[in-house]
Amino acid sequence: MAIEIQQELESGVQCTLETNTVIEDLVAAYFQAIKAKGVAPKTESKYRADLEKLRNYCNTTNIALARRFSEDDLYRYRQ
């Protein structure tokens, strides 16, 4: 789904304003949203691990802003 959204953004189907959202804040907000939905503890644990992997990837590749996370970064992260 992330790739589909990226392709829509690049093709102009969807537009977005440039933002200065920091990856750390985005990860924290997403985890809080998942927690607020009342997911099962096992699901919460999985999300926490996945988001920590994303945070680590961004830290090691010096990606601080969410808008700097590219389609290529998504492919490298998934590897």
Give me the residue spans of the domains in the chain.
20-78
CB atoms within 10 A of CB 54: 19
Q: Give tens-digit pLDDT for 61-78.
A: 999 998 899 889 989 998
9 pLDDT exceeds 80?
no
Which element (helix H / strand E) includes 59? helix 41-60
Higher pLDDT, 24 or 14: 24
Average pLDDT over residues 17-22: 78
- Give the separation between CA 10 and CA 5, rounded to whole angstroms: 9
Higher pLDDT, 10 or 53: 53
